[in-house]
Structure 1
């Protein structure tokens, strides 16, 4: 049985785990990321690729600040990854659009953002667009659309290119990536963690649990809690079409390759990551209602993936009191938050200086809180 010692062991090789691993390696840590088998349930496979701020954090201003900070740091991260790996993650941040089909919904959305701005003590960066204003930005908007909310901080990336850039960048910085392994047991003795994964044992001074849904079972082994559940999202992808959508919308975006990505659903179906015709039809119909020209575009792929959702929809960031040096990092906005996870969150893991914005996101909040509206 081999034993490898590292400073920090990250369990989970999706966008969240690799963002943390990349930041640790960039800071000089000896890091190993353990990733599961190809058939593992991966939220990263279904990521829509949005860098999204609007509507996030109502009632939780700390999360809104955390998200806004991450979005503002995305350009620097994208540039850094391209310089290091040569991979263009196709970041575009022209602002994002959330369309409405009725005036009541539009008014309610604007009202929520005004409240959020008041909670933050700032003038929230949004604009209410009537249909003529919207069509100046997106002429293809359909007749059923009455208006939209525009937020200048929003954008999108290629999630697959981003994941590939994080992998290559992490390796270029000296990080070790071990794939196809499943963690069986985590032990903590005399300030060291021993992690058994098949016939290998890894020894580390710190361990970061970034394994998505698997965190639910791993966290108690180090005195932590991760009450996460799967929420399925179904997605559709079209053939390549001529550019028409410069601004990403909440459920429709055009990628750098010209295909149109359409989402999504929020389904409580356990560990089923399949697709269903009724839900795909609903998703497609909404997209066509928003952009009638899509009615003549061929779909080439559909798939489902499982989000990692906490009871209130917000992240869990916590260090174990029982096993100091063990951290849990769980969220469902791994793309948006990648700069935060590779930056200030890593500094907390390395130095113990916890960002003010994450202090509200301990799992113990669920001991006194039954539920809140899910943060999208």
Structure 2
């Protein structure tokens, strides 16, 4: 017998779970179709920053969307804890982008100024700080750090607890989790709704949300949509646990609430897989140790690679199908930062039947520019 749901969310990563949680909270019968542990999901390797300061160069709306989500995070984290008992260890003490040369600092300052000079930009607080100012906030700072940019809105969470909390919250709200259900085909039904063929059989849903990360590229055309996404590999190092010494997250490293330090400072285009490489890892470790020399004495206990989900311009893509009403696309590479907005703002739009003008800038139609232009 074919199972039927009000809405199916394809994808069991942080993006899909955040949307599914928001939908289930609106009283809808929600199915989460997940590939399972074999999925090449970005959520497996995310850095867990709730980050504002570098988001929006090239699209002012993205800056406001990110800032809005960061502002929702305290209430979002509190709700997750109340519903699941999971403390995701949200901390928003402000964060730094540190620079190891005057040239780096000049480029960083110029990028921030270009971003804030964009038409329609909604200002956020930020400032350039010199070495001595940063060292007062973080006494372990290395001499090679010449300065950096500080934004008081930035923060981070515990990524594994967030994943667990989103999953538990969606289920507590009534969602049905279907693991090992990779989607093979999506067929719009004549009377509305969709027949979804998975590795475990067929289900039907009145509406469907594609939140399958890189998998959206193949799934979107089945419902008349386009998902222009590409993989970008990031590599991560994790140290042994040590006494707290890093009170602020840095764009490329952070100390978790459990004491370990995560180091991630790579962006590799056109990767063939998620493999790590000693050359990249060594370069990351050297930069991190120059920023905080204490890291040079810690053991590395884990490393991994993961594939970011990047659109052509790096910004999210949110769309709904004109040819297959009820089909939606949700894809981005900042799943942690945007989790609050996806659950509390975007999901209610989808539950209400359509995306609103406030997210129109994120449609893939922005890529439909004549070649002559």
Same fold (TM over 0.5): yes
CA shift in 2, pair 1:357/1:56, >3 Å:
farther
Name the counterpart of 2:310: 309
Spell out the pairing of 1:1-376 with structure 2 (5 A cutoff). Answer: 2-119=1-118, 120-189=120-189, 190-352=191-353, 354-368=355-369
Task: Kindly report the root-mean-square deviation, in angstroms, between the aligned alpha carbons of the 2 structures.
Answer: 1.4
CA shift in 2, pair 1:357/1:102, >3 Å:
farther
Determine helix, strand or coil for the equivalent of 1:166. Answer: helix
Greater than 6 Å deviation, 4+ residue runs? none
| Counterparts of 1:251 and 1:356, CA distance in 2 | 34
C-alpha contact (below 8 Å) 2:319/2:355 kept by paired residues? no
Larger CA deviation: 51-60 vs 100-109:
100-109
C-alpha contact (below 8 Å) 1:58/1:112 kept by paired residues? yes
The CA deviation at 1:122 is 4.5
| Counterparts of 2:130 and 2:27, CA distance in 1 | 50
| Counterparts of 1:134 and 1:326, CA distance in 2 | 48
String of CA shifts for 1:194-233, please: whole Å, max 9, x gaps: 1011242111111000001110100000000112111111
Determine helix, strand or coil for the equivalent of 1:343. Answer: helix
The CA deviation at 1:192 is 1.2
Larger CA deviation: 16-25 vs 225-234:
225-234
C-alpha contact (below 8 Å) 2:10/2:32 kept by paired residues? yes
Larger CA deviation: 33-42 vs 361-370:
361-370
Query: How many residues align structurally?
Result: 369
| Counterparts of 2:270 and 2:99, CA distance in 1 | 27
The CA deviation at 1:353 is 5.1
Larger CA deviation: 229-238 vs 123-132:
123-132
CA shift in 2, pair 1:122/1:15, >3 Å:
closer
CA shift in 2, pair 1:32/1:112, >3 Å:
same
C-alpha contact (below 8 Å) 2:237/2:281 kept by paired residues? yes
The CA deviation at 1:167 is 0.5
Determine helix, strand or coil for the equivalent of 2:262. Answer: strand
TM-score after normalising by structure 1: 0.95
| Counterparts of 2:16 and 2:121, CA distance in 1 | 32
Determine helix, strand or coil for the equivalent of 1:231. Answer: strand
C-alpha contact (below 8 Å) 2:63/2:121 kept by paired residues? no
| Counterparts of 2:192 and 2:92, CA distance in 1 | 43
C-alpha contact (below 8 Å) 1:114/1:124 kept by paired residues? no
| Counterparts of 1:127 and 1:292, CA distance in 2 | 25
C-alpha contact (below 8 Å) 1:347/1:353 kept by paired residues? no
| Counterparts of 1:125 and 1:353, CA distance in 2 | 33
| Counterparts of 2:356 and 2:250, CA distance in 1 | 30
String of CA shifts for 1:257-296, please: whole Å, max 9, x gaps: 0000001311124341011110110111110111111110
| Counterparts of 1:319 and 1:14, CA distance in 2 | 20
CA shift in 2, pair 1:153/1:13, >3 Å:
same
The CA deviation at 1:42 is 1.1
C-alpha contact (below 8 Å) 2:69/2:337 kept by paired residues? yes
